[in-house]
Copies of this chain bind each other. A is one copy, B any other.
């Protein structure tokens, strides 16, 4: 059990290190050497715990996703009502701990590779499915069936679009503007 645990711990540490490097250096700039160094481990250990570089990046994708998912869950727990649930899900995506240029960019980098990496695609699909399964039920009580379907797509797209823009780090969009824009969109949709 201790044995199983150390493996889990190392994988976790390496994944976090890789996530950091990815945010700083992009996918091409994320080398195993940098990741190992950031994790304070030896170069060789990375591929002891991960099949290959892609395997590590998949773990990063899952980690990034898990962090966001936890934030969503946390916020949904504190909320009541269908409208509140929708708002909580959305708010999680713009919480100061996630809606950062580096994180948005890291996410972008991973998404860009999806068409060329089967596993990335699988993970991405899971993420979308969860988004849908979170959003659809409350939306269906707030809107007609087809409007609810459309709203799932629309909300997701608006979030992604604002993330993309924020991830460019061009300074043309502040977090406040993004949040305001999102609120406006939700208001149009639900009011």
Interface, chain A (partner B; CB < 8 A) = 25-29, 101-102, 105, 108-109, 111-116, 121, 124-125, 128, 150, 153-154, 156-162, 164-165, 167-170, 172-173, 177, 180-181, 184-185, 188-189
* CB atoms of B172 and A128 under 8 A apart: yes
Do B164 and A160 touch (CB < 8 A)? yes
Other-chain residue from B112, B160, B168, B188 in contact with A188 (beta carbon distance below 8 A) = B188
CB A97 to nearest CB in B, in angstroms, measures: 19
Does the CB pair B125–A101 fall under 8 Å? no
A177 to chain B, nearest CB (A): 6
For A172, the closest partner residue in chain B by CB is B128
On whether the beta carbons of B169 and A114 are closer than 8 Å, the reply is yes
Q: Which residues of B contact A111 (CB under 8 A)?
A: 108, 112, 164, 167-168
When the two chains form the complex, which single residue of B128, B154, B161, B172 contacts A170, counting CB atoms closer than 8 Å? B128
